[in-house]
Amino acid sequence: MTAISSSSGDTAPGHDAGRIVEHFSALQEALQRNGEAMTTIASWGARLADIFDAGGQLLAAGNGGSAAEAQHLTGELVGRFKDERRPLPAIALHADTSAFTAVGNDYGEDEVFARPVRAYGRPRDVLVALSTSGTSRNVLAAVKAAQELDIETWALTGPGPNPLAAMCSDAITVEAPTVATIQEMHLVLIHSLCMSLDTTLAGRS
């Protein structure tokens, strides 16, 4: 990986390049520190291919930046990641804003993901739960609802141990110093999952 460096001649007056260099360096370190996640992601890709081939679907839940990551994942599956393939059934549970706000208003914030899990989820599905802290109550409630329906649960979280990682059937805990770097690592893992899935599906066609 190319080293990141800066010099005063490369920056505009008043521009603090130092913090940007620190951020890039933190991401480089996180990529190296979390290299063992590649094995888990490869196994998730193969398992996800089995789920889709059996007629299952992927549900994804997260708040804030993790909601964006969840929707990024489902967008790659319903559309395509790189190579052409069939569309795959995937739902970001926050994306229907009318249902999301109705559930929040009528049942409370903790139910905004759990109730859609009960509406859409089936035993052959998988729920991908994203939380940088691993403590988001509405995400934990979604996992509990999924487990009640015998739905497989995977977590992408920040540093472990944390409640979400402990609760799910499998989890990747990202060691990184900031929420921003954790989210960036989650995106790397999401793209890697799509890559593993596509490779597995292509090998079966």
Q: How confident is the model at residue 163 (pLDDT cuts 50, 70, 90)?
A: very high
Phi-psi region of 17 (alpha: psi -120 to 50; beta: other; left: phi over 0): alpha
The whole-number pLDDT of residue 8 equals: 42
pLDDT higher than threshold 80 for residue 16: no
Distance CA 203, CA 50 (A): 12
pLDDT higher than threshold 80 for residue 15: no
**pLDDT tens digits, 25-82:** 999 999 998 888 999 999 999 999 999 999 999 999 999 999 999 999 999 999 999 9
Distance CA 142, CA 184 (A): 23
The whole-number pLDDT of residue 11 equals: 47
Which stretch of 3-12, 58-67, 68-77, 144-153 has the lowest confidence by average pLDDT? 3-12
- E strands, the chain, where? 58-61, 90-92, 126-131, 152-157, 170-173
Distances (CA, A) of 151 to 41, 58, 109: 19, 10, 22
CB-neighbour burial class of residue 164 (10 A; exposed 0-12, middle 13-18, buried 19+): buried
Map out the domains of the chain with their CATH numbers.
44-203 (3.40.50.10490)
Residue 33 has what DSSP assignment? Answer: H
Distances (CA, A) of 100 to 93, 121, 182: 8, 16, 25
Q: How confident is the model at residue 204 (pLDDT cuts 50, 70, 90)?
A: confident
